[in-house]
Amino acid sequence: MQSPFLQHIVDFMYSRHYAKRTVEAYVYWTKQYILFHDKQHPRSLSDKHVEQFLSHLSINRNVSANTQAQALNALVFVYEHILHQPIKVDMRFRKATKQKKLPIVLTKREIRALLDHVKPAWLLPVQLMYGSGLRVNECVRLRYGDIDFDFYALRIHLSKGNKSRIVTLAKELCPALYQQREVVQRLWQTDSKQSDYAGASMPNALERKYPGANKTLSWQFLFPSHKLSIDPISKVQRRHHIDVTTIQRAIKAAAKRANITKPVTSHTLRHSFATHLLESGADIRTVQEQLGHTDVKTTQIYTHVLERGANGVVSPLSHL
């Protein structure tokens, strides 16, 4: 059973409409911080204890810089908003230097093999993830009205970093999307007849801006769950989207059936989308916009992939 303190953090964050993954991450790092200091309550600990924990993550757990930054953000949040004891800005701790590895990218042949082995129930979301460069969360959170068939585009709302963007849509997927929208419409018509149906969940800002929109067809999830459930935050009955783990398992299983030896995750499809776009001659800025990267340096990692091996330096063996 979760401690009252950690449960308070959960309740506080949900009441302020933080994303589920953010809540889970912040609670995880708070718990790790407490365990590291022999289960002492954070209220009795000081800035130096925070510094010790962050240094421990770098030295003993060899975490990446991004992971260490997430842990720091979690503790800054807890001390400022939960304990009302803000920690100092100029923290002195061992900075993590572990760098991200180059992304795993599938060849076009491997992508075809993977898609051939995805079970039909999950094929459309997997095709969208590769075809539009979507994160798995972006895919499952797509709404009925997010598809622009006229301009072959998808609208991505308030994704990572609270950013929205428009991405390309493969016209070959339009027939399957029309069929999927018919499924959504039938479920919506059934759900709407239930007096306790509260509509689809929406980000708080959009719910305030468009009151009542969550009960309209346009805002229903494109990939809905097969059953209604109680929203853990609002405690009302809704139809949520399918779980991300369902898609992740489907991708791993398909990769295994296709005999792909590379480690394949849902994010591998996004990496492959970006690399294949650049390979086909797309401009780096265009790829940056499609992926929703704030800094083009983040996108340039894919140019490094292309510059390796046969796509970059010619091996001296080739000249023998």
Cβ atoms of residues 63 and 73 within 8 Å: no
Q: Can you say whether the dihedral through the CA atoms of 11, 14, 20, 25 is positive or negative?
A: negative
Contacts 24+ apart (CB under 8 A), 73-78: 73/26, 74/25, 74/26, 74/28, 74/29, 74/30, 74/33, 75/29, 75/30, 75/33, 75/42, 75/50, 77/26, 78/9, 78/26, 78/30, 78/42
From residue 59, how far is each of 65, 277, 285 by CA, in Å?
Answer: 12, 38, 37
Query: What are residue 306's phi and psi, to 5 degrees?
Result: -70, -30
Q: Among all chains, which residue has been given the structure tokens 């309740």?
A: 11
Active site residues: 135, 160, 267, 270, 293, 302
From residue 294, how far is each of 154, 270, 281 by CA, in Å?
Answer: 19, 16, 21
Bridge partners, 155 (sequence order)? 166
DSSP three-state, residue 149: coil
Cβ atoms of residues 125 and 254 within 8 Å: no
First-last CA distance in the chain: 67
C-alpha to C-alpha distance for 218 and 214, rounded to whole angstroms = 8
